Amino acid sequence: MRKRLDRIHLLCQQNVPGLRLVNKQHVWWMRWLGWALKPVVPEFSSRFTTVIGNTVYLPDDPENLSPNMLASTLAHELVHQLDQQRYGVVFYLTYGFGLPTGRTMRAYWERRAYAVDLMLAMEAGGPDSVRRTANRLVEIFCGPSYFWMWSGRMSASEYLRPVVEDVLDGTLNTREPYRSILAAWRGVDPELL
């Protein structure tokens, strides 16, 4: 598992120069944000990772997280970092504007990143694991974790369906950055996928 983490970490460093992994508890404004969000997202500080630019704010010190969990977290966050690089201020404005309005751009960005989670679920346990992960994501999309970024379970399920189908039929693996992430996860040359 450590080699997998090393490969994913290297991929992240290649794409995000100056990559930093920081414990949220060591940053005063992250502690304050965790306190402010506690009534709505009580696990913000203890469970969720936040990424801004080249810094990944983790719920614990990186060495205290399991290598496999940290590798999957970095793979997910890499998608956000690449989107931040590509779209700049547009990403931050559209991601940050996430009042409970029913359907937000935050859902668009999170669907892109959670595609990694679905792809890694396929790697770990096949179609059944993908379906279980998709069901968990429906709750994340329509619940308080991301401020109700998508309205309703059925609607969230429909919104996630194209990504789930792309994972199940292998289409997602042919697109970047997913192809490179999967290659690093497996420890193979991306050309062999």
Among 76-85, 143-152, 164-173, the least confident range: 143-152
Per residue in 118-157, pLDDT (tens digit) is 999 999 999 999 999 999 999 998 887 777 778 888 988 9
Residue 62's pLDDT is 95
Per residue in 3-60, pLDDT (tens digit) is 999 999 999 999 999 999 999 999 999 999 899 988 888 888 898 899 999 999 999 9
pTM score: 0.92
Residue 99's pLDDT is 55
Give the Cα separation of 155 and 145 in Å (integer). 17
Give the Cα separation of 155 and 56 in Å (integer). 30
| 176 CB neighbour count, 10 Å cutoff | 9
Report CA torsion sign: 6, 11, 13, 19.
negative
* 54 close to 80: Cβ distance less than 8 angstroms: no
